[in-house]
Amino acid sequence: MAKPQRLAAAYAIGLVLLVVLPLAGVADEAVPIGPGATYQSMYRPEGPWAIHILEADLGAEYLELRALLGGGDTMARGQLSRVLEAAESDVIRPVAGVNGDFFSLAGGSHEGIPLGLHVESGELVSFPDPARSVFYILEDGTHHIDRLRANAWVRGPGNLLFPLMELNRPPRFAELALFTRHFGEYTRSEKKATQIALVGLSDRLHPNADVSARIASISTGVSQRIPPEGAVLVARGIAAYALRKLQVGDEVTLCLDLLPEKGRIDQAIGGGPRLVRNDVGLVEHARERFATSFATRRHPRTGLGLRDGTLVMAVVDGRQPGYSEGMTLYEFTQLFLELECSDAMNLDGGGSATMVVRDRLMNSPSGGYQRAVANALGLLTTSPLGPPVRLALEPRTMTVLSGERVELRPLALDKYYNPVPVDPADVRWRLPAILGAVDDAGVFRAADLSVSTMARVSARLEGLSASAIVRVAPFPDRIVVTPPRAALMPGASQQFRARAYDSEGQPMRLSPERLEWRLSPEEAGGELNQAGLLRAPGRGGKISVLACVGDVCGGAEVTVATRLAMLEDFERAGQWSRQSQPAGIPVAVHWVTDPLRDDNHCLRLGYDFTQGEGTRTAHAVLAVPLPDAGSFSVRVLGDGRGCWLRARLRDAAGRGFTVDLADKVTWSSAWREVDAALPEEAEPPVTLESVYLAEFHEDRRPVGAVYFDDICAGPGGSEEGR
């Protein structure tokens, strides 16, 4: 018997003996969900950790694994359940899936692009990040975890040979990029570049293969329509100069190699870092350019492991105190070692961590909803449909508060575990009357009980039967409010949520309307509605947010802050630099005396937007860490020129974010404090990379200078009501 099965059996025995033994962990038996595929849930109070496991025999008949884009056939973000639904056709149906790679969240037209390799059904969609791990399956069916790098070139007339640096990602200055139909209808380059449209591709873009094409048009601009069966080369700087002699009608060859070459790749998805290598746990976060805190702090996690031809996918819920805290990468590595995986790697986690089985969300995402993701790994089945041979009941176990209503879902399955439609009116229910009743629609109404009662609820359909264990409790053992602590500015808002738990630490079904939200002390001020949304009072101090069911309450502590933590006051010279887009726009960054106060220093950002075309930006590159901050602020002495003021951030996973500080710098000859909340998706710690001005109106050509001072870290909460 494999180790996971032994664990399941052990946990099942522990569940039976709960009345006499302390709870060390609970695991449901692995449930078949498709040919060669199973789902299993585990709960470990020592974390606490809610863990969800998918296992798939990749050699099983009728079972396929695919890398799926969030937009179906194009790069866009989509919720996992919808991504899987979009993969369905007349011959293939989704079984289950998890979220995939990290992706850009910086906003704009390039949001949602995977940061690493994506190969779908043998077609190359994006290049790998050479520093980060990739999971891939070869056409021979073998699967691997490795680090790959692109070695791509464009060959053309006149001995032209130039490196192709990006695929379906915008090129940096002096780079050449290729855009295909998977990017969308247009290249959306956002910066003026040479755009070379290609038609007549000799084949799809396969890894480690050459593809020829003919040039249909050459133009200069910020965007170009991508031919439906073609592609577009976008060149900037020296790359545009190298391709200057190409003409319409010329033939070019795209050489698209991935090294080291292991064979023909059929499916691939990026992520990182590597967790297990050849049966040894090695968290390779430094090698793959992840911050140490990303490895050592607990976060919701998604990852995958390999075990003797079986793919193991795991999701651990997190950021939900009292229910599931999330794991460090070292704890996540230990999980994969317990599951006997010889190799394993991390995928995108945080609010993206999601698992769906047969159109049902199995885990509890930290944001309370399915975040739209850039790509996913999906298990699909091509098995034929047949008559029902078994019945399943969902949920299989649950604890319910007295008087609550919960829908029970009877699922009829054929021999390949495909769902067969069920008419609820045909289902017959059986349960002890003391527990409650089930109506014809399958809705269970718990009785009003004074003591906790547990019993079996059974469903029968045409000779098939299934059952669930249901416990009805008169009140929760405890209520946990999240976040447990919050620091807010006066007037800011914060959403709180509450979960109820029974005496064994298991979550209880609880309707939001059963909760009563209170503030303590009431005289402290502030507003708290019955959905748990707090608007902080207008003055500083401490208050408690309480969520109660009868006499059982849980609480969160709120500090209303009036002062921010200083991170950079520019009173000493530092290593600040400048940056511009397009490159070459006159930009100057200097440490200077405050123009309005001789005893103060600040940073001056000078710019000249009379040059360049399209969107022009001028950056003061700062690299200021924002440790444990929910927001940040900066004082700005404006010039009244009306430029857009923004900031660029980067999180521990290496993802970039852009936040707005002011739509227009309309003030001058005065200092003004501007601020922004850190994106919820950002994995701490976050770094303030730069503060910058942007001008996207072609007819506006301002020249001026602004000054920055006193960068401060602030508490969280929205700016609504400030």
pLDDT tens digits, one per residue of 113-171: 999 999 999 999 999 999 999 999 999 999 999 999 999 999 999 999 999 999 999 89
User: Between β-strands 49-57 and 231-235, what pairing exists: parallel, antiparallel or unpaired?
Assistant: unpaired
Q: Are 416 and 379 in contact (CB under 8 A)?
A: no
Specify the 3-state DSSP secondary structure of 331: helix
Q: What is the pLDDT of residue 523?
A: 85
As a whole number of angstroms, the distance between CA 546 and CA 481 comes to 8
Q: What is the pLDDT of residue 17?
A: 23
As a whole number of angstroms, the distance between CA 11 and CA 335 comes to 15
For residue 650, which of 676, 684, 675 has the smallest C-alpha distance?
A: 684
Please give the model's pTM, rounded to 2 decimal places. 0.82
As a whole number of angstroms, the distance between CA 204 and CA 215 comes to 17
Q: What is the pLDDT of residue 678?
A: 87
Specify the 3-state DSSP secondary structure of 81: helix
**pLDDT at residue 209 above 50?**
yes
> What is the CATH code for 478-560?
2.60.40.10
pLDDT tens digits, one per residue of 476-504: 999 999 888 888 888 888 899 999 988 87
As a whole number of angstroms, the distance between CA 381 and CA 65 comes to 9
Residues pairing with 355 in the sheet: 98
Backbone angles phi, psi at 18, to 5 degrees: -55, -30
For residue 70, which of 60, 59, 79 has the smallest C-alpha distance?
A: 79
For residue 564, which of 648, 674, 671, 645 has the smallest C-alpha distance?
A: 674
Q: Which token pair is 611? A: 């040059």
pLDDT tens digits, one per residue of 316-354: 999 888 889 999 999 999 999 999 999 999 999 999 999
**pLDDT at residue 243 above 80?**
yes
The DSSP code sequence of 177-238 is EEEEGGG-SB---SS-EEEEEEE--SS---TTEEEEEEEEEEEEES--BPPTT-EEEEE-TH
As a whole-number percent, the residues of the chain with pLDDT over 90 amount to 75
Confidence of residue 42 (pLDDT cuts 50, 70, 90): very high
Q: What is the pLDDT of residue 192?
A: 82
Class in CATH terms, 149-259 = mainly beta
Q: What is the pLDDT of residue 74?
A: 94
**H or E segment to which residue 257 belongs:** strand 251-259
Q: What is the pLDDT of residue 106?
A: 60
Angle at 37 between CA 36 and CA 39, to 5 degrees: 150
3-state SS of 315-362 is: EECCCECCCECCECHHHHHHHHHHCCCCEEEECCCHHHCCEEECCEEC
Q: Which token pair is 509? A: 């079904």
pLDDT tens digits, one per residue of 60-84: 999 999 999 999 999 999 999 999 9
**pLDDT at residue 21 above 80?**
no
**pLDDT at residue 24 above 60?**
no
**H or E segment to which residue 471 belongs:** strand 464-473
Q: What is the pLDDT of residue 237?
A: 92
Q: Which carries the bigger pLDDT value, residue 112 or residue 527?
A: 527
- Residue 156: how many other CB atoms lie within 10 Å: 20
CA dihedral 487→491→495→498, nearest 10 degrees, is 70
Q: What is the pLDDT of residue 562?
A: 65
Q: Are 350 and 329 in contact (CB under 8 A)?
A: no
pLDDT, mean of residues 684-712: 93
Q: Alpha carbon 606 to chain centroid distance?
A: 37
Confidence of residue 563 (pLDDT cuts 50, 70, 90): low
As a whole number of angstroms, the distance between CA 355 and CA 303 comes to 11
Q: What is the DSSP letter of 334?
A: H
- Give residue limits of the domains in the chain: 3-54, 59-114+271-381, 149-259, 390-473, 478-560, 565-714
Classify domain 565-714 by CATH architecture: Sandwich (2.60)
- Residue 352: how many other CB atoms lie within 10 Å: 28
Confidence of residue 240 (pLDDT cuts 50, 70, 90): very high
Angle at 461 between CA 458 and CA 465, to 5 degrees: 40
Q: Any idea which residue has 């040894």 for tokens?
A: 280
User: Between β-strands 497-501 and 577-581, what pairing exists: parallel, antiparallel or unpaired?
Assistant: unpaired
- Residue 333: how many other CB atoms lie within 10 Å: 25
Classify domain 390-473 by CATH architecture: Sandwich (2.60)
Residues pairing with 428 in the sheet: 460
pLDDT tens digits, one per residue of 595-609: 999 999 999 999 999
Are 390-473 and 478-560 in the same CATH fold? yes
For residue 399, which of 8, 13, 26 has the smallest C-alpha distance?
A: 26
pLDDT, mean of residues 276-298: 94
